[in-house]
Amino acid sequence: MKNLVKTVLWLLLAASLLVSCTQSGSSSANQATGKTVLNIAGDGEIPTADSTNTGNTISSGVLYYVQEGLVRLDPDGNPTPGVAESWEVDETGTIYTFHLREDAYWENGVPVVADDFIFSWQRLADPTFAAVSANQLVLSGIVNSEAILAGELPVTDLGIAAPDEHTIVITLVQPNTYFLKEVGSTIFYPLNREFVTGLGDLYATDAEKHLSNGPFTFEEWDGTGLSWSYVKNEYYWDKDSIYLTQINVEVIKDQGTKVSLYEAGELDSISITGDYFAQYKDDPGLVQVPSLSASNVEIGIAHDQNNFEATANGALVNVNIRKALFYAVDREELITYILEGQGTPAVGIIADGIANNPGTGASIGEDTGNQVYFDGDLAREYWEKGLAELGVTSITLELLTSDSDSAKKVGEYLQNQWQEELPGLIIDYVPVVTSVRFERMMNFDFDLALGGWSGGFDPLSYIEQHNITSAHNHSQYVNPVFNDLVAKIKSEGNDVQARWDDIIAAQQILLDEAVEIPLYSGVSNILVASNLHNVYFRSIGGVTVDYTYAYFSGE
């Protein structure tokens, strides 16, 4: 009898296990059978929810969920239909025609029409509005944007027109290979003219004063607070692809608290930094997303020219001295020991993975090979040669960095390594507040400065900063061959292969002359709960971690 009971119990247990197995099997087929509310941690307070005035990742990360532009980007970074359901480009590559879908609505049921884009784009170009990222109009090459921002033409002259309610025509100065990707950016989102002008300066100062047209609506944000949420937008044209009913965001600034909340199941996904990376490096929920931001040391060539006596005896004008510094940094060691594995060594000036050779599909790194490596002997060879040319035995250079903990660690490492590898070199290390570092770089008042560059979709953006016309030519590098090449690249938007080859050639000039010292690209470490699926990760465009289409598997 006792045995019988035992057998029955075992059978019941086995049956229940079987049932639960099939349930979890079917849940992934049907999707969204688990909970539908996602809890995540925010990175910080929202500086602004006004898409026109966005110039930071927190704001654009929030607006990504609640607004939508002409196109969206799929996980591979390719444009897919957004408010525009289709588009074409004319044969000159400068006139884009977008056809807006008829079923795109604002959260109040009003249709999204062409005028919403005209209004938003003209608002962006209006110099009196002084939008922080307005210069993107110029970078993307929108007709007349430069003159409008300088106050020379009225905003109505901007190269955007609406022949009818559902068509938008955008005219560019010259072909731009990456325009379709750029047009999906936050600052180019549409805005409802009536709603925004009705609120004036109060627009988007809290969630009630914001109008959504994206997958979610914006709720429970008081304008400066540490929490808010996104609620599924029933007016969204693609609402059937959205499984989550709500996403709650709470800003948790303390890493330890964030990790505790994740462990307790109160947060479903978080980002972690250095200290906690070691603890989770073998966790199946860990995803490392390369950030494509390039960290480098910029060289103040001009500073040296102007202060020949006062500073480094013209040392940085000497290409051999620059090359010695270039080869004397061990990036592998820097990443392994100083950054605790949080990065990938640079292979060139352009971050690897940003774009691919249109002919072969190879990435920048695969195309050019690793151009940036550590070679102590080579470094010393250049160093001796440089010293001999300058007729000195010792050089003192100032190294400028921000005063954050992470920047100071890298700064101290560089100081130590350069002094060790290059006899006679004295590095005067000066950590300062970021805004001061920035000011000094913009005034060309530095020898060596730890900086970084997050380029756009176009690989040219990484090297263009060394062009003579760029405000970011901190080194004041001047080379007519390079400048002509950049001008040529800008004119050959339609011939993608020639453009690519020239970009590679231009980068080679900068590397051969050691105009900057590339170090590494960063990574973001993201933890995702095991029952959360369909989360997308992106290195560029949109948000790093995209929960828009996510769903939970059932218990």
Tell me which residues touch other proteins (CB under 8 A): 45-50, 53, 55-56, 127-128, 130-135, 149-151, 201-205, 222-227, 250-254, 256-257, 260-261, 263-264, 266, 433-436, 438-439, 442, 471-472
Cβ at position 201, least distance to other proteins in Å? 5
Identify the burial level of 377 via C-beta atoms within 10 angstroms of its C-beta, where 0-12 means exposed, 13-18 middle and 19 or more buried.
exposed
**Residue matched to tokens 């005028």:** 115
Cβ at position 429, least distance to other proteins in Å? 19
CA 36, CA 243: separation in Å to the nearest integer?
7
Cβ at position 70, least distance to other proteins in Å? 22
Nearer to other proteins, 129 or 373 (CB): 129
SS3 of 413-445: the string is HHHHHHHHHCCCEEEEEEEECHHHHHHHHHCCC
Encoding tokens for residue 63? 């607006």
Nearer to other proteins, 233 or 295 (CB): 295
CA 92, CA 175: separation in Å to the nearest integer?
7
Nearer to other proteins, 257 or 336 (CB): 257
Cβ at position 300, least distance to other proteins in Å? 16
Nearer to other proteins, 48 or 233 (CB): 48
Cβ at position 53, least distance to other proteins in Å? 6
Distant-in-sequence, close-in-space partners of 232: CB < 8 Å, separation ≥ 6:
215, 216, 217, 239, 242, 244, 245, 246
Indicate the length of the chain as a whole number. Answer: 555
Cβ at position 127, least distance to other proteins in Å? 5
Nearer to other proteins, 133 or 288 (CB): 133
Task: From 73, 44, 101, 87, select the one nearest 186 (Cα to Cα).
Answer: 73
Nearer to other proteins, 203 or 418 (CB): 203
CA 333, CA 342: separation in Å to the nearest integer?
12
Dihedral angle at the C-alpha atoms of 436, 522, 304, 301, nearest 10 degrees?
-130
Largest CA distance in the chain: 102
Cβ at position 47, least distance to other proteins in Å? 6
Task: From 100, 146, 134, 128, select the one nearest 159 (Cα to Cα).
Answer: 146
CA 269, CA 148: separation in Å to the nearest integer?
43
Nearer to other proteins, 474 or 499 (CB): 474
Cβ at position 45, least distance to other proteins in Å? 7
Cβ at position 203, least distance to other proteins in Å? 8
CA 28, CA 532: separation in Å to the nearest integer?
11
Nearer to other proteins, 18 or 433 (CB): 433
Encoding tokens for residue 93? 């590559």
Nearer to other proteins, 4 or 130 (CB): 130
Dihedral angle at the C-alpha atoms of 329, 335, 340, 343, nearest 10 degrees?
150
Nearer to other proteins, 223 or 341 (CB): 223
Instruction: Provide the b/e sequence for 502-529 (b: ≥16 CB within 10 Å).
Output: bbbebbbbbbebbbbbbbbbbbbbbbbb
Nearer to other proteins, 276 or 418 (CB): 276
CA 555, CA 536: separation in Å to the nearest integer?
22
- Residue pair 197/204 in contact by the 8 Å Cβ criterion: no
Cβ at position 324, least distance to other proteins in Å? 30
Cβ at position 544, least distance to other proteins in Å? 20
Q: Could you tell me how many helices (H) and strands (E) the chain has, helices first?
A: 19, 21
